[in-house]
Amino acid sequence: MQNMDINDARTFIAVVEAGSVSRAARELHLTQPAVTRRVQRLEQAIGAQLIDRRKRPFALTDVGQAAIERCRRLVATRDELKALAQAGALPTRECRIGVAHALTEFALTEPIDELRTVYPSVVVRLFTGWSNELVRRVRSGALDAAVVLLPEGEGPPAGTDGNALAGEQLLVIAARQRQRKPMALREAAETGWILNPEGCAARAWLQRSLAKGGLPLRVAVEAYNYELQISLVGRGRGLGLVPSRLLARSPARKQVSAVRVRGLEFPMKVWMITAMLAAGLEEPLGTLGGALQRQLVKRH
């Protein structure tokens, strides 16, 4: 094995976290060819290909999957040693945490304040995305942990660890009427839905539930913002699927009402999924998970 350049390892980490060479180049303020050369030098030093260049989107080889966490440990160790060499300096550690779109409303201010109070040397980096995407990033080592929504009965996938923090109640909503009877599954399927874009765990659960009855999912509007979804439902544009905690605080809540759809249930749980190799972060992540759980229980 040739000597490994620490900057090549940093660049490889940046490519994995960014998900592409072009995005990593922008973040590192380098040209794409310069980023590619650094990754190639690292591959030559290791003696194996790290990125499968035949696949789109970006994918790591088996060796790349094994190498990424070791590169992170190498860079973290080097940074800690450098910090220790500075008189009075405390070693720092970066903690990369993903938060599902549906959970960003929790405003992680209080839990992160608690984490930073207990562990002032831990630097927190937050990322948002769909639950399935964030779980994949934890498995690949691009994230140390992620707070996600999973259907009840599902747990952490192979290669990860995790804890269930709280239940999540999802409600089907429609424009408010004085008396609203339960809807049949077919009637709900024939009505247009106002939902998050594809990738949303709740939308996928709804689609599977309808498919079990041989029914399609008809999407009338896709929108990331729950407040916009609730407003559109209130204007009679279709059915919606929203967390009860968001509906309870929505300015448009009086324009809609929850609807029971026979044969349609959405048992979900909030999980904190952690990487198996989040070395040195077990206690900080435990502190964050405990603070999140207390906040979730308080807000339900």
pLDDT for position 2? 56
pLDDT for position 90? 45
Which tokens belong to 92?
A: 């720092």
8, 60, 137, 300 from 54: Cα distances, Å = 22, 11, 20, 46
Whether 204 maps to a domain, the answer reads yes
Which among 62, 90, 118 is the end of a domain?
90
Q: Residue 162: which residues within 8 A CB-CB, separation 6 or more?
A: 155, 156, 271, 272, 273, 274
Whether 195 maps to a domain, the answer reads yes
7, 12, 47 from 60: Cα distances, Å = 19, 11, 15
85/174 same-domain check:
no
Whether 251 maps to a domain, the answer reads yes
What's the domain count of the chain? 2
- Is pTM, for the whole model, over 0.95? no
- At 64, which CATH number? 1.10.10.10
Query: Per residue of the chain (300 residues), what is the pLDDT tens digit?
Result: 556 788 888 899 888 888 888 888 888 888 999 999 999 999 988 888 998 888 777 788 888 888 888 888 788 777 666 655 554 444 457 888 998 887 765 557 788 888 888 888 888 888 888 888 888 888 877 888 899 988 888 888 777 888 888 888 889 999 987 556 888 989 988 889 999 888 887 888 889 889 988 999 999 999 888 899 999 999 999 999 998 878 888 899 999 999 999 888 877 888 899 886 555 677 888 888 888 888 777 765
Whether 73 maps to a domain, the answer reads yes
d(CA 248, CA 140): 36
Whether 235 maps to a domain, the answer reads yes
Which among 74, 90, 106 is the end of a domain?
90
Which tokens belong to 263?
A: 């044969």
d(CA 252, CA 300): 19
- At 189, which CATH number? 3.40.190.290
Whether 276 maps to a domain, the answer reads no
Hunting for tokens 């194996």 — which residue is that? 48
pLDDT for position 113? 84
pLDDT for position 228? 92
pLDDT for position 87? 44
**Structural domain of residue 10, as residue ranges?**
1-90
Which among 90, 108, 133 is the end of a domain?
90
pLDDT for position 239? 95
Whether 136 maps to a domain, the answer reads no
Residue type, 222: E
pLDDT for position 137? 85
Whether 281 maps to a domain, the answer reads no
pLDDT for position 174? 93
Q: Residue 223: which residues within 8 A CB-CB, separation 6 or more?
A: 194, 195, 196, 229, 232
